[in-house]
Amino acid sequence: MLEMRVSGFRLLLLVSCFICKSKGAIVPALIMFGDSIVDVGNNNNLLSIVKSNFPPYGRDFINQRPTGRFCNGKLAVDFTAEYLGFSSYQTAFLNREASNENLLIGANFASASSGYYDATSVPFGAIPLTRQLSYYRTYQNRVTRMIGRERARTLFSKAIHILSAGSSDFIQNYYVNPLLNLLNTPDQFSDVLMRSYSDFIQNLYELGARRIGVISLPPMGCLPAAITLFGFGNKSCVERLNHDAVMFNTKLEHTTQRLMHRHSGLKLVAFNVYQPLLDIINNPYDSGFFEAKRACCGTGTIETSFLCNSLSIGTCSNATGYVFWDGFHPTEAVNELLAGQLLGQGISLIS
């Protein structure tokens, strides 16, 4: 009898923590999948060559400490969590902090250098989307044990799930993989990725997710590292890559609409980050920036992950005027603007 009372008290305590943690938030939980755009530190715990848990990463984050975010400060999903009313950020699922009541406001399963195409993650030791989904099932079981099946089912269905993928598939795989180039045109490769995207959304739906936002490709040809790698000495955006991104995003939007019509009760939004980011790059001064071609870290041309470190020569002292923090990722200032754009586009997910 005493054991039953203790178990009942523990359940009540966890439910109270759930209500307290999400109090003031518009949705009960925020759950992230994908790549470095939303990874908050899962790669810290992997034998991966793609990490950012060292300076100067995180120098403008809370307590000026690196967390595994590929940024000088907050990611767009961090600002999204704030805008939705959460008092703390969703933790990386592989971190030690991912336990008990911390999981009741959601979790982050993203892994830098992963993509829709599972093979993309292999050379970098990243977590492919299929395994991220497996971790999500584990997460669901843990939450269900904590707060009960009905409360958990409600949490999963009302939570916002965010997916960011695709850039690594092109920049770190397709464009540098002669075999993929031989077997597929960019259009055909996009179709391969769309099938993986459809399967992922189908699996999430079967697991009870009903509110999902997927982030489009950025203007890939304007990323400093892409200009360096694929621009052949030209300092302008690589239009071929931007064309591929537009083509992919068009397919993403069409596939998203088909999936939403196919699944009853599913709210699925394709977030367009391409145009807002391109507008900032083309007209940086209008948004308060002065540097849109060169990144803050190091020479600003290629440095990312271990190449962007405390010994990197040339790192800027103040990133607020820069569009890009490293060769692939925006600064905190840009992430804040993009988060506002995403919130506006995703009203249907919270209504």
Catalytic residue numbers, as ranges: 36, 326, 329
**Cα–Cα distance, 108 to 318 (Å, whole number):** 28
């179709």: which residue's tokens? 191
The letter for the amino acid at 204 is L
Q: Which of 139, 110, 135, 121 is nearest to 35 (CA)?
A: 110
**Cα–Cα distance, 46 to 41 (Å, whole number):** 10
